[in-house]
Structure 1
Amino acid sequence: MNNFASHPRSPTANPVKAVLFDLDDTLWPIMPVLIRAEQLLFEWLGQHAPAVSQNFSIDSLRQRRQALRQTNPLFIIDLSALRRAGLTEAFNSVGEDCSKIDAAMALFAEARHAVTPFEDVSPVLSRLKQHFLLGSVSNGFADLDTIGLSHHFKVSIAAHSFGYAKPDPCIFHAACKMLHVQPEEAVYVGDDPLLDVVAAREAGLRSVWINRFNRVLPPGITPDTQCTNLHELETWLHLQAAQV
């Protein structure tokens, strides 16, 4: 259910010039992709680094990554570096050849990019880019060229290459600067209540909570609106334009 009427804009509010998007669970479902990628990687380890698969499980490798994440600020913004560090530690602990890790990372990256965008993504983005500047801001490392969506966006910022991650306001401000708009002229669309809704609003952008999975917002978090799909977002954006 949308929430279009809950937070009406002032007639004097700045018009929306840019729409920025989160990626995972906003433009495509990510959990099935990650589960498959983890399984394929573990099967690869069983064939090419059996000592690792015999001494670790998918869960124990994940738990070790979570522990490593607390040891280096880089790992908070670069999940690929975190995965490589976890594999390196596991390989070293059982005497496996670490030169194999590049192949393991390549396999995981290929599987990680085998996403299927929601059915509304391509048609709605194609229409929106006729009226707004579009960009993406993500903490993940999805390659939009590989996925086939890069042509919709004038700007795409990933935390691992930018050096800062959501909720830091500078990553939102950088996207706005690259699009030559002020934060108050931009809308951020994402599924995470804290990293997307709260962070975007604190950075001065309007926020849209995309709720594709019938979730419930935590108390006290108030987006400018919430939508269950991009068709509802498109309707809301045109309503905002009509109010200016």
Structure 2
Amino acid sequence: MKEIARPQAILFDLDDTLWPIAPVIAEAELTLHAWLAAHAPKVAHAFTIEELRARRLALLAEQPHYHLDLHQLRRAALEAAFAHVEEDARHLDGAMRHFTAARNAVQLYDDVMPGLMRLAEQVTLGVVTNGMADLEVIGIAHHFKVSLAASRFGKAKPDPAIFLAACDALDVAPQHAVYVGDDLRLDVEGAQKAGLRAVWMNRTGSTAHLEANIRPDAICTDFHELIAWLEQQLAD
């Protein structure tokens, strides 16, 4: 029987793993539209929130390189909307600052903070994300030795390179690292192809992994189950 390497590090996804992202984005887009109504009214009057979102998705389809930097995607789409209605482009920076602040107003799942502190007593922690959250602003950066974002690294999950780079930064071999995330393809399959073990953080009780034919090394519904799984690995 193949011996399973003891975990030395756990790397985390952020959105929908450490906090729910849908309500954050919805609120950020709502408050951004109100900000536009006050400071760039031509844009707000010409486009609803849904229309701005559709224009952004269309731009992403035309220029998929924006998958690496969703902040620049939103800025480029907003810049095009400003130009379309001949709105004063001087307000673009303010709009992006407003959205970014709202984007970082996340609410951690209740189990995350105590879970991170418990895990940090046993293994090194890090982050690999395709998103744009600012961990310093959110206030949890100090929990992670490494934080690697696709926008800075130049490659995004599920590319194995970003997982391997995080392992290198932690000085941990991939087989001694575990990745935890909510997305089966980006997080679980991506990490496994890079040689890491992968835990699917399945807070909803979904059985999507069966349909996708992806086999996580473990499935956890919260940090309590993740800690129990890790401690079992360390005890074996």
Same-fold call, TM cutoff 0.5: yes
Give the distance between the partners of 1:73 and 1:221, measured in 2 at CA: 25
2:180 aligned counterpart, secondary structure: strand
Q: Which segment is superposed worse, 189-198 or 71-80?
A: 71-80
* Residue 105 of structure 2 corresponds to residue 114 of structure 1: yes
* Residue 216 of structure 2 corresponds to residue 227 of structure 1: no
**Pairwise CA distance, 1:74:** 3.3
**Pairwise CA distance, 1:159:** 0.8
* Residue 164 of structure 2 corresponds to residue 164 of structure 1: no
1:2-151 pair list within 5 angstroms: 12-151=3-142
> For 1:131-189, what per-residue CA distance to the aligned partner results, in whole angstroms no more than 9, with x for missing partners?
10100000001011110111110000111111111011000000000001111110000
Give the distance between the partners of 2:40 and 2:98, measured in 1 at CA: 14
Give the aligned length. 234
Equivalent residue for 1:193, pick from 160, 176, 184 = 184
Q: Which ranges of structure 2 fall in alignment gaps of 5 or more residues?
A: none
**Pairwise CA distance, 1:13:** 1.6
With normalisation by structure 1, the TM-score equals 0.93
With normalisation by structure 2, the TM-score equals 0.96
1:137 aligned counterpart, secondary structure: strand
**Corresponding residue for 1:175?**
166
Equivalent residue for 2:231, pick from 199, 216, 238 = 238
* Residue 197 of structure 2 corresponds to residue 206 of structure 1: yes
Q: Which ranges of structure 1 fall in alignment gaps of 5 or more residues?
A: 1-9
Q: Tell me the amino acid that sits aligned with residue 227 of structure 2.
A: E
**Pairwise CA distance, 1:238:** 0.6
> For 1:53-75, what per-residue CA distance to the aligned partner results, in whole angstroms no more than 9, with x for missing partners?
11111111111111111233431
**Corresponding residue for 1:7?**
none
- What is the RMSD of the two structures over their aligned residues, measured on CA atoms? 1.1
